[in-house]
C-alpha cells in the first residue's frame, strides 16, 4: 500500500489524507460510536461524498429483549448525511435475513424495501439504505462506500477498468456497472467471493464508486483514504490533476446579464411548471470550464455518477434555448420509457444546470438549499469530467442507465416524501425598510411561506439580520437610484429574478402643523415616502414582468390616507400620493400580469417610531392607559407589525390572485375610516 501523502496541500499534489484524531475518536464509544465518528470524517471531505451520498455500516452482536444474541447490521439510514450523522441515523437490520435475501435470483424494489423495513429492530429508525444487502454480504465488520471524485475520474474513461486494475492490483475487486439496489448486491454476491484474496481491502464499482472494509472503524476509514489517494496519485502522474482557472473577474458581463438571467429563470420555471430560484457561479474555475472548445462534447454525455441525476437531470442546458432542451428531454423520456418494464410518468423537462459563457454556471431549485446542492454536485462533476478528459477521454454511462436511476421507484419515493412545497417556494421577494417593525415582520412572514427574501434598509444591521441562504440583507439608501440598481443586481445574481415587492420604507417626521411645515421637511418626507418608491417601482418593473407566476406588489400605505390627522400634512400627503401611484400602477401593469395592492395600517406601536415615552405621552393626552390607547379601535384589539406583515404576505399570494388596485385597512376598525 502506498503511503498517504501528508505534505502541504498544494494544487499540484494529491490531497487525500486521514482526518482521524485520537482525542476526537475517544469521545465516541463502542462500535456504533466509532462508526459515527469515521462516517463524519468521510462526510467532511466533499471529494468523497456530497449531500447524502455514500453509506457506511457496522456489524454487531446485540442481545435482544428476550436474552437472545442477534447479529445486527447498522447501516446508514435513508435521508441522513454522513457529515452530520448520529447513532439514530443508522438502521439496525437483522443480518441472517439479509444474507438469505442475497441468495435470491430476483427481488423487486418494493419487495426489497418491505423486507428491509420488516427486519429492523427499531421501529422508529430511518429506512435502511438501498445498498443494505450489499453491506451485509461483504465479510467485514466495518464497510465504507463513497463516490470519490478521483475514482470516478479514472473509471469514467474509455479504458477505466484497465486503469483501475493497474492502480490497485489485487487490493480491490472490480465490479462492472449495474443498477444500484438488489441487482448490484446480487452481482457482488457472485463476483466478490470469486475474486477477493488475502490482500483485498476494497471494491470498485465502475462509474459508480468505491468500497473499503476493515476490522475496525479506523482501519476501514483509512483504507478508503489510502485507496482514493492512489487514484489521485495516478491522476497526478498522468498530468490529469491540475485544472485550469481563468484570471480576472466577471464584472464586464454583470450589467448586461441581469435582465437576461431573469428572463432565463422565467423560461425554465415555466418549462418546469412551477417557479424555481436560480443562482449564478462565475468563479475563475467555472469560467475556465465554460471556455473549453470541447464543452458540448464533454457536457452532453451524462453525470459523473448516476446518483446525481435526481438532482441535476442527466444533462445541463448549454446556452439558453429552454424550449429545445425540454423537447430533447421529452424525446429522451419517450425512448427509454418505451423500453421500461413499467410505464413511467414523466418528470418536468426543465434543466437544473445551465452553462452559459456570459452568465456562468446557473443552478436551479425550489429552495436555495436545492440550488446550492445542484451547484456543489456540478462543480465536482466539472472536476471529474476534466480529469477524465486529461486521462484519455471522458466516458459517461449510456442514457438508458441514467434513465433507470432517474425513474427508479426508490428515488421517486424520496421525492414524494418531500411533501407539498410552501406557497412561495421558488419565488423571490424584496422588502424595503426591512430591519425593524412591519418590514422585519414582512421578511419573517415571507420566509415562513417559502420565499427567498431580500431586505433593504438604511441600518447597517440589516446585512446580519438572518444567517440563512434564502435571505440577503443589503444596507441601502432607497432614495439613491444607483443603490437601488445595485440591490436589484444582487437580487437577480443570487436568486435569479424578482416576483414580489413590499414597499414599506418610510419616515414619519412627527407632528408639525402646515403653518410651521418648512420646504426642507416637506421634501425630505416626499423623497423617502414617495419618490424612492416611484424609482423602485420603475426599476423593478422589467423584472416583475418576467416573474413566472406574475409579479405582485404590496404597498404599505397608512390610515392617514382615508382619515388624516392634525400635524401630519407631509406624511399624509406622501402616503396619499403613494396610494394614487399604486392605483395607476395597477392600471398600467395589469397587462403585464402584475398585481398592485395597498394596505392601510393604523396604530402599530411595536415599531421604531413608537418609544415607550412617546406612547405614554400620547396615551396621557387622551386620558387613557397605554394598554387602552393601544386598543383604541372598534374591535378593541391591538394591531401589531406581525398582523400587518401577515396580510401583506397574503396579498402577494393565491388568495388575492384576482385582486389588484385594492386598498385594505388593517387597523382594528377605525371609526373615521369606516
Residues with a known catalytic role: 571
Distances in whole angstroms, Cα of residue 175 to Cα of each of 227, 454, 483, 506: 16, 49, 58, 66
Which grid cell sits at 406? 432517474
CB 279 within 8 A of CB 494: yes
Residue 69, burial from CB neighbour count under 10 angstroms (0-12, 13-18, 19+): exposed
- Give the DSSP H or E segment for 62: strand 55-63
CB 374 within 8 A of CB 353: yes
Distances in whole angstroms, Cα of residue 155 to Cα of each of 51, 134, 390: 22, 21, 13
Total Cβ atoms within 10 A of residue 399: 16
Which grid cell sits at 36? 459515527
Q: Listing from the earlier edge strand, what are the strands of the sheet with 552-556?
A: 471-475, 452-457, 428-432, 500-503, 552-556, 595-601, 663-666
Q: Give the start-end residues of each E strand in 200-243.
A: 202-205, 209-214
Distance of CA 581 to the CA centre of its chain: 37
Place of cell 397574503: 650
- Give the span between the Cα atoms of 626 and 639, in whole angstroms: 14
Distances in whole angstroms, Cα of residue 561 to Cα of each of 310, 314, 341, 558: 52, 55, 66, 6
- Give the span between the Cα atoms of 636 and 669, in whole angstroms: 9
Q: Residue 109 in 3-state DSSP?
A: helix
What are the residue ranges of helices labelled H in 496-654?
A: 519-526, 532-544, 569-589, 612-621, 626-630, 641-651
CB 397 within 8 A of CB 306: yes
Q: Give the start-end residues of each E strand in 433-498.
A: 452-457, 471-475
- Give the span between the Cα atoms of 447 and 657, in whole angstroms: 20
- Give the span between the Cα atoms of 435 and 438, in whole angstroms: 9
- Give the span between the Cα atoms of 617 and 629, in whole angstroms: 10
- Give the span between the Cα atoms of 415 and 359, in whole angstroms: 30
- Give the span between the Cα atoms of 268 and 276, in whole angstroms: 8
The sign one gets for the Cα dihedral 129, 135, 140, 146 is negative
* 432: phi then psi, degrees, rounded to nearest 5: -95, 155
- Closest by Cα among 363, 336, 362 to 347: 336
Provide the CB-side half-sphere exposure for 596 (13 A, CA): 26
Q: Which residues pair with 202 in a beta bridge?
A: 172, 212
Amino acid at each position: 500500500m502506498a503511503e498517504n501523502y501528508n505534505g502541504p496541500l498544494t494544487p499540484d499534489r494529491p490531497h487525500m489524507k486521514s482526518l482521524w484524531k485520537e482525542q476526537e475518536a475517544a469521545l465516541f464509544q463502542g462500535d456504533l460510536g466509532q462508526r459515527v465518528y469515521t462516517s463524519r470524517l468521510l462526510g467532511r471531505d466533499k471529494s468523497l461524498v456530497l449531500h447524502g451520498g455514500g453509506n457506511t455500516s457496522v456489524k454487531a452482536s446485540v442481545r435482544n429483549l428476550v436474552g437472545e444474541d442477534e447479529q445486527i447490521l447498522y447501516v446508514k439510514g435513508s435521508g441522513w448525511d454522513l457529515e452530520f450523522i448520529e447513532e439514530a441515523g443508522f438502521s439496525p437490520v437483522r443480518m441472517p435475513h439479509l444474507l438469505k435475501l442475497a441468495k435470491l435470483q430476483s427481488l423487486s424494489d418494493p419487495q426489497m424495501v418491505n423486507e428491509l423495513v420488516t427486519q429492523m429492530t427499531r421501529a422508529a429508525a430511518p429506512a435502511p439504505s438501498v445498498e443494505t444487502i450489499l453491506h451485509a454480504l461483504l465479510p467485514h465488520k466495518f464497510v465504507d462506500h463513497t463516490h470519490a471524485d478521483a475514482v470516478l475520474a479514472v473509471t469514467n474513461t474509455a479504458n477505466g477498468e484497465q486503469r483501475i486494475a493497474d492502480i490497485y492490483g489485487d487490493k480491490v475487486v472490480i465490479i462492472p456497472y449495474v443498477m444500484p439496489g438488489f441487482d448490484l448486491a446480487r452481482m457482488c454476491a457472485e463476483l466478490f467471493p470469486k475474486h477477493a484474496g488475502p490482500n483485498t481491502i476494497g471494491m470498485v464499482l465502475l462509474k459508480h464508486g468505491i468500497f473499503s472494509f476493515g476490522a475496525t472503524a479506523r482501519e476501514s476509514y483509512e483504507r478508503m483514504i489510502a485507496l482514493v489517494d492512489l487514484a489521485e496519485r495516478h491522476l497526478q502522474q498522468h498530468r490529469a490533476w491540475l485544472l485550469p482557472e481563468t484570471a480576472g473577474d466577471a464584472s464586464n458581463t454583470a450589467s448586461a446579464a441581469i435582465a437576461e438571467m431573469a428572463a432565463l429563470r422565467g423560461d425554465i420555471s415555466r418549462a418546469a411548471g412551477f417557479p424555481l430560484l436560480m443562482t449564478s457561479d462565475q468563479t475563475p474555475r467555472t469560467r475556465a470550464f465554460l471556455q473549453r472548445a470541447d464543452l458540448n462534447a464533454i457536457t452532453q454525455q451524462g453525470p459523473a455518477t448516476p446518483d446525481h441525476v435526481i438532482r441535476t437531470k442527466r444533462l445541463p442546458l448549454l446556452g439558453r434555448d429552454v424550449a429545445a432542451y425540454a423537447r430533447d428531454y421529452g424525446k429522451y423520456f419517450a425512448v427509454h420509457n418505451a423500453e421500461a418494464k413499467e410505464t413511467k410518468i414523466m418528470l418536468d423537462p426543465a434543466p437544473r444546470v445551465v452553462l452559459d459563457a456570459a452568465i456562468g454556471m446557473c443552478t436551479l431549485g425550489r429552495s436555495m438549499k436545492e440550488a446550492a446542492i445542484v451547484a456543489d454536485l456540478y462543480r465536482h462533476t466539472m472536476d471529474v469530467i476534466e480529469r477524465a478528459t486529461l486521462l484519455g477521454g471522458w466516458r459517461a454511462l449510456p442514457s438508458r442507465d441514467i434513465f433507470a436511476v432517474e425513474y427508479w421507484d426508490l428515488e421517486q419515493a424520496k421525492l414524494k416524501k418531500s411533501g407539498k412545497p410552501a406557497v412561495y417556494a421558488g419565488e423571490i421577494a424584496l422588502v424595503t425598510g426591512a430591519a425593524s417593525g412591519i418590514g422585519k415582520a414582512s421578511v419573517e412572514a415571507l420566509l415562513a411561506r417559502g420565499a427567498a427574501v431580500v431586505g433593504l434598509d438604511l441600518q447597517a444591521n440589516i446585512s446580519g439580520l438572518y444567517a440563512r441562504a434564502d435571505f440577503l440583507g443589503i444596507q441601502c439608501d432607497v432614495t439613491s437610484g444607483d443603490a437601488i440598481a445595485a440591490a436589484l443586481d444582487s437580487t437577480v445574481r443570487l436568486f435569479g429574478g424578482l416576483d414580489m415587492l413590499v414597499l414599506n420604507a418610510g419616515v414619519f417626521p412627527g407632528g408639525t402643523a402646515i403653518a410651521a411645515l418648512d420646504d426642507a421637511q416637506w421634501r425630505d418626507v416626499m423623497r423617502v415616502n414617495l419618490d424612492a418608491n416611484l424609482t423602485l417601482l420603475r426599476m423593478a418593473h422589467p423584472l416583475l414582468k418576467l416573474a413566472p407566476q406574475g409579479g405582485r406588489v404590496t404597498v404599505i400605505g397608512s390610515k392617514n390616507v382615508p382619515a388624516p390627522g392634525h400635524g401630519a400634512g407631509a406624511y399624509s400627503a406622501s402616503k396619499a400620493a403613494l396610494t394614487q401611484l399604486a392605483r395607476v400602477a395597477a392600471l398600467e401593469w395589469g397587462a403585464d400580469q402584475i398585481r398592485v395592492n395597498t394596505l392601510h395600517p393604523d396604530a402599530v406601536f411595536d415599531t421604531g417610531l413608537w418609544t415607550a415615552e412617546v406612547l405614554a405621552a400620547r396615551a396621557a393626552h387622551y386620558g387613557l392607559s397605554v394598554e387602552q390607547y393601544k386598543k383604541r379601535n372598534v374591535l378593541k384589539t391591538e394591531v401589531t407589525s406581525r398582523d400587518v406583515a401577515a396580510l401583506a404576505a397574503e396579498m402577494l399570494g393565491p388568495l388575492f390572485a384576482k385582486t389588484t388596485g385594492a386598498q385594505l385597512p388593517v387597523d382594528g376598525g377605525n371609526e373615521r375610516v369606516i
